[in-house]
Amino acid sequence: MFTLQQLLEATGGRVIHGTPRPDERFAGGAFDSRIAQPGSVFFALRDQRDGHDFVADAFARGARAAVVERPVEGVPDGALVVEVTDALHALRRLADALRDAHPIPAVGITGNVGKTTTKEATAAALGARHRVLRTAASYNNEIGVPLTFLQMEPTHEVAVIEIGFYVPGEIADLCRLVRPRIGVITAIPERPVHFSRTPSVEAIASGKAELIAALPDDGLALLNADDPRVRALADRTRARVALFGESADAAVRATDVVADGLDGAHFVAHLDGRTAPVRLPLPGRHVVPAALAALGAATALGVPLDEAATALATMEPPAHRMSVRRGPGIVVIDDSYNASPAAVSAALAVLGSVRSRRVAVIGDMLELGALSADAHESAGREAARAADVLVGVGDLSETIVAAAKRAGVAEAHHVADGPEALVLLRRILRPGDTVLVKGSHSLALDRLADALVRPAAA
């Protein structure tokens, strides 16, 4: 929540439409008119599309004000329009001002996989004792992180912020806004997502290290003990370092890990001589590191280990991330938000643990650059071990299907896109099947997952 006066003072903007009332309050911000909430401020950013073309739509959906770089048409009579020189810079300046006004401790989370799950786990664990501001969805870039701070309220006591990396210096810049006291690095696998945007895995590791380099001397860097690249970053920070994982030297350690198929996982957590049982509602052993990082962050901010562990059982899966959904006669493992080699491998491991007929719908893994061919080949071999039926979606998935056939998968199909996959699946699915849906975000396989769980038309 923030006022018009705060908006104008932070951005240097001027009202060019509507009647200004300095004490008027706004409920957050948006850059996509389709998700503009009533009472929010719409920022007309020039991203893949020009936000100025959608100002009228944002107002129609309930936005109270718009921040623009030039006058636009179709604005309702009573709506507020604020003109600035640069809308993206205005968003950042407003976020900086609101952060200054409410300097709560923050947990920053980065890594090449597992960021969003770790963010949700950390928010759940901290929620045992604190009111938590956390990143919505995967709003982890120069737009999403500032928008998160526009949601800040006086009652928030701690922030949990996911931070992404595309170019060197980006995380360092976002840390000047986030001001993390605790930094978590999840994992940097051999075949990382977005590899095509960076020259090497080492460059990705250096970019992720910007988070822990930004921590204060009395801060805490939580590093994945089971990931050699993450562990090796310990000398990149002045803060205290604590390892989490299943390794014997991890300060936050898991033992007795049991994956319960689609019902989740459980383990025993160890920290400073204390132990606590942990039960996770999300399927897959790969969720355990996220839970351990969450426990490390929560206990560092005053939540007793047993309370944080209990709270982890309440965490909800992020949308379209290893969400177990029930459809007409089938179970859908909806992991459709995005795809990387490590994430595909983890999802296939979960599918392979179920006893029903297993159907893997695997889409292209994009932005892998030189790693692409080998990654898709490996995914095909893993799919052959984990699935009874494979459906590859997209051009690159032809390699997955071919590799799976060579590895002996019982049945394999290739389709061009999600709608074609839906037609095929409606023909071949049987009652009792378990279906994994996984693919890069641009394939929009979330729509396929939604369609599979939707009751059939009468």
Average pLDDT value for the chain: 94
Alpha-carbon torsion angle 410, 413, 419, 423, nearest 10: -60
DSSP state of 456: P
Instruction: Write out pLDDT tens, residues 52-105.
Output: 999 999 999 999 999 999 999 999 998 999 999 999 999 999 999 999 999 999
pLDDT for the residue 457: 53
pLDDT for the residue 199: 62
In this prediction, what percent of the chain has a pLDDT beyond 70? Answer: 97
**Residue 208 included in any domain:** yes
Query: Do residue 413 and residue 265 come from a single domain?
Result: no
DSSP state of 49: S
CATH number of the domain encompassing residue 208: 3.40.1190.10
Q: In 10 A of CB 391, how many CB atoms?
A: 28
Query: Do residue 237 and residue 329 come from a single domain?
Result: no
Instruction: Write out pLDDT tens, residues 222-233.
Output: 999 999 999 999
- Type of residue found at 71: P
For residue 226, give the nearest of 155, 309, 292, 178 by alpha carbon: 292
Query: Token digits for 407?
Result: 């590895």
Query: Do residue 376 and residue 430 come from a single domain?
Result: yes
CATH number of the domain encompassing residue 41: 3.40.1390.10
Instruction: Write out pLDDT tens, residues 157-202.
Output: 999 999 998 888 999 999 999 999 999 999 998 866 655 566 688 8
Query: Do residue 109 and residue 223 come from a single domain?
Result: yes
Query: Do residue 348 and residue 286 come from a single domain?
Result: no
Residues 120, 250: Cα–Cα separation, whole Å: 22
N residues, the chain: 458
Q: Which of 59, 86, 113 is the last residue of a domain?
A: 86
Beta strands in 35-94 (DSSP E): 41-43, 65-68, 80-83
- Type of residue found at 74: G
Q: Is 154 exposed, middle or buried (0-12, 13-18, 19+ CB in 10 A)?
A: exposed
Our count of domains for the chain comes to 3
Residues 382, 376: Cα–Cα separation, whole Å: 10
Query: Do residue 233 and residue 289 come from a single domain?
Result: yes
**Residue 96 included in any domain:** no
**Residue 458 included in any domain:** no
For residue 75, give the nearest of 97, 91, 59, 61 by alpha carbon: 59
Query: Do residue 152 and residue 279 come from a single domain?
Result: yes
Secondary structure class of 194 (helix, strand, coil): coil
Residue 367: pLDDT over 90: no
Beta strands in 265-365 (DSSP E): 265-271, 274-280, 323-327, 330-335, 358-363
Query: Do residue 229 and residue 190 come from a single domain?
Result: yes
In this prediction, what percent of the chain has a pLDDT beyond 90? Answer: 88
